[in-house]
Amino acid sequence: MTSLSLIHRFVPASRPGRPPLLLLHGTGGDESDLLGLGQTVAPGAALLSPRGPVSENGMPRFFRRLAEGVFDEDDIRVRADQLAGFVAEARAEYGLPAPVAVGFSNGANIAAALLLLRPETLAGAVLLRAMRPLAVPPRPDLAGRPVLMLSGSLDPIASDATATALAGDLSAAGAAVEHRRLPAGHGLSQADVALARAWLDGAVPAAAA
C-alpha cells in the first residue's frame, strides 16, 4: 500500500484485544519480510509493516549508516520522526491503538530510537539483535513500558557491549526491560520466535484505540 507516507502492508486483526504489531525489517528486507514472523508470534494481531525509506546500495533500511556499526545519528533523529508520523497516520487510517514494535537488526535499532525519541509512538517493543542507536540518548519517561531484547551471544554485528548499553539506556528511562542472550548469531532462531511469542502473550496488555 502507498496511500500513507511510507510504502507498507497492513493485515487487519482477526482476534480482538491483541495490540497491533509494528513490524520493522532488517537491512535489505521489505514490507513483506516479517509478516510471517508477526503472524507466528502474535496470532490474530493486526500487523503494520512499513518499508524502510532509505536505500543503501539498493537495500531498504530505516536510517543511514556511515559504516558497518557506525550510525548517522542526525539521520536517525529525522527518520524516527518520520516513522512516528507514519504510525500516527496509520493509527488514524486503520483505527489502531499504539502498536508494539517487533524489529530485527536495523528495524530493532529504529524501534529503540522511537522509544527514546518518540516514546508516545509505541506501547512496547521486541528488539531482535538490537544495537544502541544513540551514543548520548535522551531520558524519556518510559515508566513500565515493556521491552524484550533478544541478543545472540555469537553475534558478530550487534555486540554484547552495545546491546547491554541499550538495555541500560531503556532501563534508566523506566522501561521494564527483559534482556535475554541466546546461543545464536545475528540470524533469528526458533528460540527467538518462541520467546517472543510467550512474552507477547504475557507481558503486553491489550490497549484501547
Domain architecture of the chain: domains with CATH? 8-203 (3.40.50.1820)
pLDDT at residue 1 in the model: 55
CB burial of residue 66 (10 Å; 0-12, 13-18, 19+)? exposed
State pTM to two decimals: 0.95
Angle at 32 between CA 116 and CA 9, to 5 degrees: 75
Active site amino acids:
105, 155, 186
pLDDT > 90 in the chain, percent: 91
Band the pLDDT of 206: cuts 50, 70, 90: low
Q: Are 152 and 191 in contact (CB under 8 A)?
A: no
Q: Are 46 and 94 in contact (CB under 8 A)?
A: yes
Return the closest-CA partner of residue 86 out of 149, 43, 23: 23
Type and span of the H or E element at 148: strand 146-152
